[in-house]
Amino acid sequence: MSSGNIIKNPLSTEKAIHLLEEGGWLVFVVERKAKKPEIKKAIEEMYNVKVARLNTLITNKGAKRAYVKLSDKDSAMDLATRLGMM
């Protein structure tokens, strides 16, 4: 899978914005079949950042979300601004 096919879109719900402001976590909707190493590589390539932690969740509706914590040298708020979330 290519990077563009793995990451569908950033999620900008009220909960996702709260996680961003309080903990520096970004939330993305990703391809359901994508594995964690593939998601991490896609985010690092697409946005030129370093991922420190990555958690995934499959929702009740069958969508897969990736919760991403960036490294200390990269700002999640800056990336969110670049993505138009803030």
Per-residue pLDDT of 3-46, as tens digits, reads 779 999 999 999 999 999 999 999 999 999 999 999 999 999 99
Mean pLDDT, the chain, integer: 94
Residue 10 is classified by DSSP as E
pLDDT tens profile 35-66: 999 999 999 999 999 999 999 999 999 999 99
Cβ atoms < 10 Å from Cβ of 63: 14
Residue pointed to by tokens 């800056």: 78
pLDDT exceeds cutoff 80 at 67: yes
Alpha-carbon distance of 41 to 51, in angstroms, equals 9
Sorted by where each begins, the domain ranges of the chain are 3-71
Tokens found for residue 13: 């719900």
Q: What architecture does CATH give domain 3-71?
A: 2-Layer Sandwich (3.30)
Q: Are strands 25-30 and 51-58 parallel, antiparallel or unpaired?
A: unpaired
Instruction: Say if pTM beats, i.e. exceeds, 0.95.
Output: no
Tokens found for residue 6: 């793995």
